[in-house]
Amino acid sequence: MKNHCKSSVLVLFVIILCSIIVSCLSSCRRHDRVINTSFYFWKTVYKTNATEAAWLGHFHTPRLYVRMMDVDMDESGVIPIPVSPITFQNKLPDTVEIVPVVFIVNNILKVTTHSQLDALAGNIVRFVNGKVQQAGKTTFSELQIDCDWTSSTRENYFYLLGRLRQIKELKTKTISATLRLHQIKNQKGSGIPPVNRVMLMCYNMGNLRKYGQQNSILDMSELKKYLGDNVKAYPIPVDVGLPLFSWAVAFRDQQYIGISKRVHLADLNDTAQFIIHGNNFYIAKTNLPQYGLKAKDEIRWEDVSAKNMQAAAGYLSPLIEADTLNIIYFHLDEAILKTYTYEDLEKTAHLFR
């Protein structure tokens, strides 16, 4: 009987000891994770800005993800061409690498042939090389392609990515792709892009056009519907994109009429122009042509608080097992950055460790 008791105690001791060791190893792994804080630059003109430079410097940002151009069809609807390409008035800081980002309009993939995509791959690389040199860089180590591909355009999109990987200059570089929530949830239908890394876009997840007081930029209940085991099971290293932006969603007679880019929160809080209606709804008191609004039009103001961003980070962190994680904020813009503090992003990064 005594031997049996001793044996049971020993087994219990071993189980507890193993649990402690596993816990410690897990803790060590989490704290060893390398977090890189990076930003997107999504404007058509790059020029030096003291506030934006200060944020890059504070976070020792290793790379800036710079949108080079959109790719859409020309007026004839036959040839893919660069649209709204970026212009560099100044060079990027010496301490920051450039990651060129090219946005592919999904509709062009419905009508392009493989020979057109072969040509497009070469044109993208030549165009990107020219813009990288304008930015004051001699080369780049990563090219990111952004596209909201669907099951119907998957074959052409993946073909294009494959052609890019075959270009001699890119064979030793990282090719990454953006990944939207519906694409990670429906992996069977959307497929897995043939790239080295993906950037999971944790924003623009609600129904922007739906009337109501929801937040279509970041909604935790929506985020959880798409992620969970889908992130853990993804066969490519996953980076995370988080939102640093806001917008004014306009409605007329409860019907969506667009995003009013000229309206800012300070304008909405001007009681001479707007009536505050609920937490994030505002009603135009009179016709406001400077904002493209008529009397009684409604604005839903959407933004992302530091608290909500950190809630997303806390949820995502245990789903990602990589030892190195890039957090890429959309996007680097002085007006947006002024609504946050360094501490806000530092706390967010800490939650991923």
Residue 112 has pLDDT above 60, yes or no: yes
Q: What local confidence, expressed as pLDDT, does residue 32 receive?
A: 77
How many whole angstroms separate alpha carbon 24 and alpha carbon 18?
10
Classified as helix, coil or strand, 159 is helix
Q: pLDDT (tens digit, 9 = 90+) per residue, 287-340?
A: 999 999 999 999 999 999 999 999 999 999 999 989 999 999 999 999 999 999
Q: Say if residues 164 and 202 touch (Cβ distance below 8 Å).
A: no
For the chain, give the mean pLDDT. Answer: 91
Structure tokens that stand for 292 in this block: 């493209």
The predicted structure's pLDDT at residue 206: 82
The DSSP symbol for 156 reads H
Q: What is the CA radius of gyration of the chain?
A: 24
Quick one: tokens of 5?
């008791």
Specify the 3-state DSSP secondary structure of 69. Answer: strand
Three-state secondary structure call for residue 119: helix
- Give the start-end residues of each E strand in the chain: 34-41, 45-46, 63-73, 80-83, 87-88, 97-104, 142-146, 174-179, 197-201, 238-243, 247-252, 255-259, 274-276, 281-284, 298-302, 324-330
Distance CA 133, CA 137 (A): 5
**pLDDT per position as a tens digit, 11-47:** 444 344 444 443 444 444 445 799 999 999 999 999 9
Distance CA 264, CA 291 (A): 10
Q: How far apart are CA 166 and CA 236, in angstroms?
A: 19
Q: What phi, psi does 197 have (nearest 5°)?
A: -145, 160
Model confidence pLDDT, tens digit, residues 40-67: 999 999 999 999 999 999 999 999 999 9
Beta-carbon contacts of residue 20 (< 8 Å; ≥ 6 apart): none
Would you identify the CATH topology of the domain 33-245+307-352? TIM Barrel (3.20.20)
- Give the model's pLDDT for residue 30: 47
237 three-class SS: coil
- What is the share, in percent, of the chain residues with pLDDT greater than 70? 91
| pLDDT of amino acid 261 | 87
Query: How large a percentage of the chain has pLDDT more than 90?
Result: 86
Confidence of residue 251 (pLDDT cuts 50, 70, 90): very high
Q: Say if CB 199 and CB 241 are below 8 A apart.
A: yes
| Both structure tokens of 15 | 């189980």
Residues with Cβ < 8 Å from 241, sequence gap 6 or more?
A: 40, 178, 199, 200, 201, 202, 203, 327, 328, 329, 330
Is 305 in contact with 313 (CB distance < 8 Å)?
no
Average pLDDT over residues 251-258: 97
Could you tell me the residue ranges of all domains in the chain? 1-32, 33-245+307-352, 252-291
